[in-house]
Amino acid sequence: MDKLVIEGGVKLKGEVVISGAKNSVLPILAATLLTDDACIIKSVPNLRDTNTMFKILRSLGKVVEYDGGVVTVTSGKSINYIADYKLVSTMRASICVLGPLLGRLKKAKVSLPGGCIIGDRPVDLHIKGIRALGADVHIESGYVVAGAKKLKGGHMYLGGVYGSSVLATDNVMMAAVLASGKTVIESAACEPEVADLAEFLIKMGAKIKGHGTPIIEIDGVKHLHGATHTIIPDRIEAGTMMLASLITDGDILVKNVCFRHLGALIDKLEESGAAIIKTDNSLRVRKRKQLRGVTITTLPYPGFETDMQAQMMSLMSVVPGTSLFTGRIYPDRFMHVAELRRMGAQIQREGPHAIVEGEKYLSGAPVMASDLRASACLVLAGLAARGKTSISRIYHLERGYENIEEKLQNLGARVWREKE
């Protein structure tokens, strides 16, 4: 296994181009199961997770070619309705093949995703939603088994104790597009990636309204055809690069971004003292004045992204003042705290809260990545720290950040890979 080594203290400057959104690509790739026609998806990042989804589609009978950021999905022999454990257990997002398999074949058997370090990842809302379309669903030997003679549109409320569910909304949408009649999803997830999936489904011939809002209406159709689609930019990669500029007191132009996908983060960074200048589809990010601590509560979109909480905690660890973090989506998503403490961060945990007292500096140390966004948080801390930081288990990082070493090196960072 490799580890990433960072010699901190360089002010990052220059330009970085953001890749396509991982959390948009994965459900859109799953949606290609809804047709035998060819689908062409552009701006697909080369990630561990996207390659896992290619393998899952191939195991289900699809032919998947990937070249230069473009994926072409066509049909091989018949589609298999079973997504097996060994692939699904490596990536929770694989659950999003449940909806299209059910929509297309009226049956699906998808392994329950493995556990997840960021917190409990139930699928009760996925099951509630597809049951509302008339499917029989039960759990059997670690699989979600679903079937229906026919699917009919239903009216459902899909909010859970932690708010709306991104992939449950995706799964219900992908089953409902081929159901007969109208489906209304209340408390649908509003994330840009859900809206991007809906846009792809509409290009395939689906009839969807309200995507990006809490009420999505779908009129089922008989057939969906192939389509070509370009994935939206990855707002979490963009946010991570924005923080890389601020934590190193740098000056970075982040290109290929969609401002309105970053509203909560931009608001908080400006409150803290950042200067964020918007031009075309780029953001120039640097400090306007000495940054100060802020209060962060993670909420469903358009609230502050849970996937940016760990990265923001790195920044607040080296900003004067006190910051309060509250996790309303994953209350235990604090695996990165222990590692930041090894670098000198002053963080106190209390249930879903973490209180950060900013320090003058962090010191480089050997640390361990525990999940995708925690590994990004440690990269940011390493860029700012005095001395050398080595981050082990960086396969977590490779799940969601395309060519991150190269992108950081081009901004002046002293970062390289070593064998563990």
Active site residues: 116
What is the smallest separation between the CB atom of 329 and ligand EPZ, expressed in angstroms? 5
What is the smallest separation between the CB atom of 21 and ligand EPZ, expressed in angstroms? 9
Binding residues vs ligand EPZ (CB under 6 A): 23, 26, 92-93, 120-126, 160, 162, 165-168, 189, 193, 306-307, 329-330, 372-373, 400
Return the DSSP state at 98. Answer: H
Q: Residues 76, 63: contact at Cβ < 8 Å?
A: yes
Q: State the CB neighbour count (10 A cutoff) for residue 78.
A: 10
Residue number with CB closer to ligand EPZ (10 or 404): 404
Q: Residues 24, 232: contact at Cβ < 8 Å?
A: yes
Strands 295-298 and 282-287: unpaired
Residue number with CB closer to ligand EPZ (13 or 128): 128
Q: 314 phi and psi, to 5 degrees?
A: -60, -45
Please name the amino acid found at residue 309.
Answer: Q
What is the smallest separation between the CB atom of 387 and ligand EPZ, expressed in angstroms? 28
Distances in whole angstroms, Cα of residue 173 to Cα of each of 124, 153, 197, 283, 329:
16, 10, 9, 33, 22
Residue number with CB closer to ligand EPZ (109 or 373): 373
What is the smallest separation between the CB atom of 45 and ligand EPZ, expressed in angstroms? 12
Distances in whole angstroms, Cα of residue 280 to Cα of each of 137, 179, 270:
47, 40, 19
Residue number with CB closer to ligand EPZ (120 or 271): 120
Q: Report the residue count for the chain.
A: 420
Could you report how far apart the first and last alpha carbons of the chain are, in Å? 6
Instruction: Give the list of residues 6+ apart from residue 260 with CB closer than 8 angstroms, or none.
Output: none
Token digits of residue 85: 């454990």
Residue number with CB closer to ligand EPZ (286 or 373): 373
Q: Residues 402, 45: contact at Cβ < 8 Å?
A: yes
